[in-house]
Amino acid sequence: MFRTTSGTRRAALFLFVLLLSVVFLLPQQSRGLLQNIGQPIAQLASFPLEAFSALDHSLRDFWDGYVALHREAEENRRLRREVQQLRGQNVELQEMVAASQRLAGLLELKKKFAPRTVAAQVVGRDATNWYRSVVLDKGERDGIRVEMGVMTPDGVVGRVVNTTPFSSVVLLIIDPNNAVTGLIQRTREEGIVEGTAQGRARLKYIPLLSTVRIGDVVVTSGLTGGFPRGLAVGTITRIDKAEGDLFQSAEIAPEVDFLKYEEVLVITDPRPSGESHEEPALPTDFSKGPKP
Residue 109 lies in a domain: yes
**Whether residues 53 and 154 fall in one domain:** no
Cα 96 to Cα 85, 139, 148, 205, 224, distances in angstroms: 17, 26, 30, 44, 37
**Whether residues 122 and 262 fall in one domain:** yes
**Whether residues 221 and 84 fall in one domain:** no
pLDDT single digits (tens) 21-77: 654 555 555 545 545 555 665 566 566 666 666 666 676 777 777 677 777 778 788
The torsion angles phi and psi of 158, rounded to 5 degrees, stand at 170, -160
Residue 163 lies in a domain: yes
pLDDT single digits (tens) 184-239: 999 999 999 999 888 889 999 999 989 999 999 999 988 876 888 888 999 999 99
| β-bridge partners, 249 | 240
Q: What is the 3-state secondary structure (H, E, C) of 169-203?
A: EEEECCCCCCEEEEEECCCCCEEEEEECCCCCEEE
Task: Find the domain containing 86 and state its range.
Answer: 7-114
> Among 71, 93, 114, where does a domain finish?
114
User: What is the number of structural domains in the chain?
Assistant: 2
**Whether residues 238 and 135 fall in one domain:** yes
**Whether residues 34 and 124 fall in one domain:** no
pLDDT-wise least confident of 87-91, 178-182, 192-196: 87-91
Residue 289 lies in a domain: no
Residue 160 lies in a domain: yes
Residue 192: burial class (beta carbons within 10 Å; 0-12, 13-18, 19+): middle
**Whether residues 64 and 153 fall in one domain:** no
Q: What is the pTM of this model?
A: 0.57
Percent of the chain with pLDDT over 90: 34
**Whether residues 105 and 137 fall in one domain:** no
Q: Which of 257, 224, 250 is nearest to 156 (CA)?
A: 257
Residue 107 lies in a domain: yes
User: Whole-angstrom Cα distance, residue 267 to residue 278?
Assistant: 18
Q: DSSP string of 89-133?
A: HHHHHHHHHHHHHHHHHHHHHHHHHTTSEEEEEEEEE--SSS--E
Q: Cβ(248)–Cβ(212) under 8 Å?
A: yes
